[in-house]
């Protein structure tokens, strides 16, 4: 295949990636966006395999077959609650692949008489450093989300000094490569230092901030892939990596803004390390909660005019997305308007609640982002909170001493009545008490979300 044909087909691939991102911005065309992006990637792989002088096809086919099986089985079998873990894991694999490319290219090019030129050595430095950090950091994020590690920040004295020393070691090793070091041990040591830094970097970040971390690490993987594109002189890899890096960076900044926190605070603030008023001690100051039953909630819903459901991670854990959709259909049959309030950082990854409800075929026009749903709440008769906590905590508005003060929330307390479906009074990821639970207009339905919604639906049918 000629160079001109290769570049033309790569250009087609780049266009498909850009269009795929454009389609993914709308829920109605997200499926087409995924398919278009996959088709573009298939074309890029085919064009790359058609390069003249390429060897080792058998090993490549075996590796692709293994990867395809793992990817398909993993994607089809993963539960919605584990989707963030899968995203973190797949992102980490991408970073690790880029680091291995840097190691292989250094091994092949450094011993040559002409050695490495400045562009290649810098590309190897960036690919190995950023890719390795993304790989190990993503594995730690996976471990926290999968509860293999504590979701609370893991901190110790002198942590920032240790992190800085490890990162400085990696940079010095990278500088040696740029200066002309030609032994594999330098790249191996650089990758090892970067892997250690990735672990140390993510350990002190709490579970509440994992969506931001995953987004940031995704951006890092994109930047590393783009650097590898310069190393391999592959235009499609350069552009695709840049797209991932830019979109991941933008998403990271938007999520930080949604929590009213700087990215520095997210990464270095050890948010959620202190638990205040958690568990049974929450009501020791004399406050009480008002419990309700599925039958009482059914009556409230059955005679309402407008109902808003606010989903959170508890809904995902209970796998109750189909049950809330079934209940909503019963209410709509009675002429009741039903909407869903979606907070930007609800769940454990960007768009977690949107994906969850889309799986249950909830109409897109009923999904309202925080800025859209808040003006609706003063005219709402009943808000039902399904496993959400920090994103509806009014302390974010009223308590300057709260760690989440200033974070935009869904203003559920401005509705006529609030019902919180939750298994206990335990705090959310932020580790703080929620005064909403003690509001006179709030009732607590202590139950698993799936069981609660099934019971409420059955009671609504009897009305």
> Cα–Cα distances in Å, from 278 out to 117, 294, 391, 439?
58, 26, 17, 17
Euclidean distance between CA atoms 436 and 418, whole angstroms: 9
Say which of 209, 323, 390, 433 is annotated catalytic. Answer: 390
What's CA 378's distance to the chain center, in Å? 31
Buried b (16+ CB within 10 A) or exposed e, 265-298: ebbebbbbeeeebeeeebeeeeeeeeebbbeebb
Euclidean distance between CA atoms 204 and 390, whole angstroms: 20
Active site residue 390: yes
442-446 and 382-386: which strand pairing?
Answer: unpaired
Active-site residues: which are they? 390
């Amino acid at each position: 295949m000629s160079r001109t044909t290769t570049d033309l087909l790569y250009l087609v691939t780049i266009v498909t990636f850009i269009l795929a991102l454009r389609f993914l911005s709308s829920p109605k065309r997200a499926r087409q966006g995924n398919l278009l992006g996959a088709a573009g990637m298939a074309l890029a792989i085919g064009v790359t395999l058609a390069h003249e002088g390429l060897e080792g096809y058998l090993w490549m086919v075996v590796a692709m077959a293994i990867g395809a099986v793992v990817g398909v089985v993993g994607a089809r079998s993963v539960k919605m609650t584990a989707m963030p873990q899968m995203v973190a894991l797949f992102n980490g694999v991408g970073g690790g692949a880029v680091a291995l490319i840097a190691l292989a290219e250094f091994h092949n090019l450094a011993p040559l008489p002409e050695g490495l030129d400045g562009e290649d050595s810098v590309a190897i430095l960036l690919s190995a450093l950023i890719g390795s950090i993304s790989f190990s950091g993503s594995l730690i994020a996976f471990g926290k989300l999968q509860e293999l590690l504590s979701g609370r920040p893991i901190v110790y004295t002198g942590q920032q000094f240790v992190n800085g020393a490890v990162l400085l070691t990696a940079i010095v090793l990278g500088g040696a490569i740029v200066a002309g070091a030609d032994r594999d041990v330098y790249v191996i040591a650089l990758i090892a230092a970067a892997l250690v830094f990735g672990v140390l970097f993510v350990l002190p970040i709490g579970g509440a901030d994992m969506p931001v971390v995953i987004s940031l690490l995704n951006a890092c993987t994109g930047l590393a892939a783009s650097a590898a594109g310069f190393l391999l002189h592959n235009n499609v890899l350069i552009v695709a990596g840049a797209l991932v890096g830019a979109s991941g960076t933008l998403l990271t900044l938007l999520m930080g803004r949604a929590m009213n926190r700087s990215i520095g605070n997210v990464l270095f603030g050890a948010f959620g390390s202190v638990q205040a008023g958690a568990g049974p001690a929450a009501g020791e100051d004399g406050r009480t909660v008002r419990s309700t039953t599925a039958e009482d909630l059914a009556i409230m819903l059955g005679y309402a005019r407008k109902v808003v459901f606010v989903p959170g991670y508890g809904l995902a854990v209970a796998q109750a997305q189909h049950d809330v959709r079934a209940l909503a259909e019963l209410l709509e049959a009675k002429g009741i308007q039903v909407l869903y309030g979606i907070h930007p950082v609800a769940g454990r990854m960007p768009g977690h609640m949107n994906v969850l409800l889309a799986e249950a075929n909830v109409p897109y026009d009923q999904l309202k982002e925080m800025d859209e749903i808040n003006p609706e709440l003063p005219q709402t008769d009943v808000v039902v909170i399904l496993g959400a906590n920090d994103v509806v905590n009014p302390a974010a508005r009223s308590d300057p001493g709260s760690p989440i003060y200033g974070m935009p929330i869904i203003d559920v307390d401005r509705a006529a009545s609030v019902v919180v479906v939750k298994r206990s009074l335990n705090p959310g990821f932020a580790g703080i008490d929620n005064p909403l639970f003690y509001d006179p207009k709030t009732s607590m339905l202590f139950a698993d979300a799936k069981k609660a919604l099934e019971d409420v639906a059955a009671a609504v049918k009897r009305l």
